[in-house]
Amino acid sequence: MRYPSPSPGLLARLAARLGRAGFSSDPADLAPWLTDWRRRLTGAAAALVSPADAEEAAFVVAAAAAEGVAIVPQGGNSSMVAGATPAGIGEPGEACALLVSMRRMRQIRSVSAADNAVVAEAGVVLADLHDAAAAAGRRFPLSLAAKGNATVGGLVSTNAGGTQVLRFGPMRSLVLGLEAVLPDGSMLRGLAPLRKDNRGYDLKQLLIGGEGTLGLVTAATLRLVPAIGERAVAWIGLRSAEQALTLLRLLEDRLGESVESFELVPAEGLALVLRHIPGTRAPLADSWEWNLLVEAVSPRGAEAIAGRLGPVLGEAIERGLIGDATIAASESQADSLWTLRESLSEAEARDGMAAKHDIAVPVADMPGFMARAAAAVAERFPGARPIAFGHLGDGNVHFNVRAPAGGDGSDGGRAWFAATATEVSRFVHGLVTEAGGSMSAEHGIGRLKRADFLQLVDPARRAAMLAIKHALDPAGIMNPGALLPLADRRARP
């Protein structure tokens, strides 16, 4: 069923309430926000609407709901799965949606060291949130490569993960409270920084990871943790992913909760970064099948962590778990090591096309899974080049499959990608589902993974999700096409 276009009266009401800064139907203003970050989809929308505060956001949703007009919420437009891109030309909903940008809502409403909490509006950029927490002598312990673009609303709505999940968990474990507009325009006001609240269903947990399909997040109360006194960042070379996990448990035994990042970079990943990212250089003399970036931290006033990490890495070398390691001697060296890890996605994109997968299996199964899946992909898609990197400590890697090398090389693998990527992804998602894992560990489902998700998901889980969607958004106006099927928007499960 097609979504109705907003009536001229609705557009006029929105323009009058939000003013020039908050409303535009000029195609030139819309254009930059209609293509997803990975440049996979370009959509269309009737207007770009940017509320300045929660009341304006509620007004927008209520007005759209009255006409059954679709709303596509957008934050930093850095979704890996086109979760914030409206329907494309020729698709149902074409040009009918309101693209609701939260970028004007960028206030930090409060920071409380006493409560260990910050209240940030949906449009606050992650890097600014880090700065605000630091200014209060605290820390917001979630980070990812897109921290200069990703916003609080998007991070909440996708239950973002990143490179520090190991100790403090993903967004789901960092959100203490939420303020959101529900699909009928009513406000859910729950920003109190409560550590305990047992009044039945935890509605905020439905919105976290709900991908904007159950409501529009306008602000969140987020957990803060003690600021870091010192960090030690190590780059480690080793031959076996199994032994990487033995190292992780050894580090935890010796250093306890100090270990905050445990990131895996394969030899070909490091090579891609060194080839495509200017100013980078190899941290170790030799090349290793696998590399690890480990970050351990100590609180202020505690014994320096580097002095404790070094001996454990020495012990690991003696035990033959790892081959080589270096610990950054300065903050700038630490940043350079992090650049090697955080540039992987960009280096991979510069090198050519890849079918991207964001998978999780139980941590202990991951080394075996990576090897089995790489062999299966190589057999089924000759020439395709699997590359697995990322959050090994969380049992989550990006098992991407790069286009075959060679040919005349002039199209960067575009023809291969167009012909094969959908099949490759279905194959990889099938493998991970068979292994009892998840085909989306941290990026969400969005529009790019919807078909595979709906095919592979457990039927009971699918039915429950559709029932929840129908209960809260019976007209299906919130972010149609992300996560759930468009056609089901009015169907009872």
Q: Which is nearer to ligand 2HG, 145 or 294 (CB)?
A: 145
Q: Assign 3-class secondary structure to 171-220.
A: HHHCEEEEEEECCCCCEEEECCCCCCCCCCCCHHHHHCCCCCCCCEEEEE
**CB-based contact 174:222 (threshold 8 Å):** yes
Nearest approach, Cβ of residue 290 and ligand 2HG (Å): 16
Q: Does 212 bind ligand 2HG (CB under 6 A)?
A: no
Q: Are the beta carbons of 31 and 73 closer than 8 angstroms?
A: no
| Length of the chain in terms of residues written | 493
- CA dihedral 83→88→94→96, nearest 10 degrees, is 40
> Going by DSSP bridges, is the β-strand pair 108-112/187-190 parallel, antiparallel, or unpaired?
unpaired
Min dist. Cβ of residue 390 to ligand 2HG (A): 5
206: left (phi over 0), alpha (psi -120 to 50) or beta: alpha
Looking at the Cβ atoms of 273 and 306, the one nearer to Zn ion is 273
State which residue, 237 or 390, has the beta carbon closest to Zn ion.
390
Cβ 359 to Zn ion shortest distance, Å = 11
Residue 180's DSSP bridge partners are 188, 217
Least separation in angstroms between CB 424 and ligand 2HG: 14
In angstroms, give the least distance from the CB of 175 to Zn ion.
19
Q: Considering the complex, what minimum distance in angstroms separates the CB of residue 162 from Zn ion?
A: 6
- For Zn ion, the binding residues in 53-92 under the rule CB under 5 A are none
Shortest separation between residue 427's beta carbon and ligand 2HG, angstroms: 17
Q: Which residues pair with 111 in a beta bridge?
A: 118
Nearest to ligand 2HG of 58, 387 (CB atom): 387
- For the record, the structure tokens of 415 come out as 């023809």
Among all residues, whose Cβ is closest to ligand 2HG? 345
Judge whether 388 and 398 are in contact, CB under 8 Å. yes
What, of Zn ion, ligand 2HG, none, does residue 400 touch, CB below 5 to 8 Å by kind? ligand 2HG
Which lies closer to ligand 2HG via its Cβ, residue 53 or residue 346?
Answer: 346
Q: Residue 476 CB, nearest distance to ligand 2HG (Å)?
A: 29
Q: Is 135 exposed, middle or buried (0-12, 13-18, 19+ CB in 10 A)?
A: exposed
Minimum CB separation of residue 351 from ligand 2HG in Å reads 12
Point out which span in 103-111, 387-395, 400-408, 456-464 binds Zn ion (CB under 5 A): 387-395
Interaction between residue 390 and ligand 2HG (CB under 6 A): yes
SS3 of residue 127 by DSSP = helix
Say whether 295 sits in a helix, a strand or coil.
strand
Binding of ligand 2HG at residue 218 (CB under 6 A)? no
- The string of DSSP letters for 217-282 reads EEEEEEE-EEPEEEEEEEEEEES-HHHHHHHHHHHHHHHGGGEEEEEEEEHHHHHHHHHHSTT---
State yes or no: residue 145 binds ligand 2HG (CB under 6 A): yes
Question: Of the listed pieces 12-20, 236-244, 335-343, 382-390, which binds Zn ion according to CB under 5 A?
Answer: 382-390
The residue within the footprint of ligand 2HG, chosen from 231, 398, 402, 489 (CB under 6 A), is: 398
Residues 309 to 368: which contact ligand 2HG by CB under 6 A? 344-345, 356
Q: Shortest Cβ distance from residue 132 to ligand 2HG (Å)? A: 24
266 makes contact with ligand 2HG (CB under 6 A): no
Nearer to ligand 2HG, 170 or 193 (CB): 170
249 burial type by CB count under 10 A (0-12 exposed, 13-18 middle, 19+ buried) = exposed
The residue among 400 and 425 lying less far from ligand 2HG, judged by its C-beta, is: 400
**Spatial separation of the C-alpha atoms in residues 253 and 386, rounded to whole Å:** 33
Residue 213 lies near ligand 2HG (rule: CB under 6 A) = no
* Residue 374 token pair: 């790489």
In this structure, the dihedral spanned by the alpha carbons of residues 252, 257, 261 and 262, taken in order and rounded to 10 degrees, is 10
Residue 145's binding partner out of ligand 2HG, Zn ion, none, with CB under 5 to 8 Å set by partner kind: ligand 2HG
Answer with the entry of ligand 2HG, Zn ion, none that 356 interacts with (C-beta below 5 to 8 A by kind).
Answer: ligand 2HG
Residue 78 binds ligand 2HG, judged by CB under 6 A: no
Q: Would you give the DSSP letter of residue 157?
A: H
- Options 77, 151, 261, 400; binder of ligand 2HG; rule CB under 6 A: 400
Q: Which is nearer to ligand 2HG, 159 or 400 (CB)?
A: 400
Q: Which residue has the tokens 């970064």?
A: 273
Q: Tell whether residue 402 is a contact of ligand 2HG (CB under 6 A).
A: no
Pairing of strands 47-49, 98-101: parallel
Host H or E run for residue 326: strand 324-327
Cβ proximity of 51 and 105 under 8 Å: yes
Q: Which does 139 bind (CB under 5 to 8 A by kind): ligand 2HG, Zn ion, none?
A: none
CB nearer to ligand 2HG: pick between 116 and 400: 400
Shortest separation between residue 250's beta carbon and ligand 2HG, angstroms: 24
**Contacting residues toward Zn ion, per CB under 5 A:** 390
**Contacting residues toward ligand 2HG, per CB under 6 A:** 145, 344-345, 356, 390, 398, 400
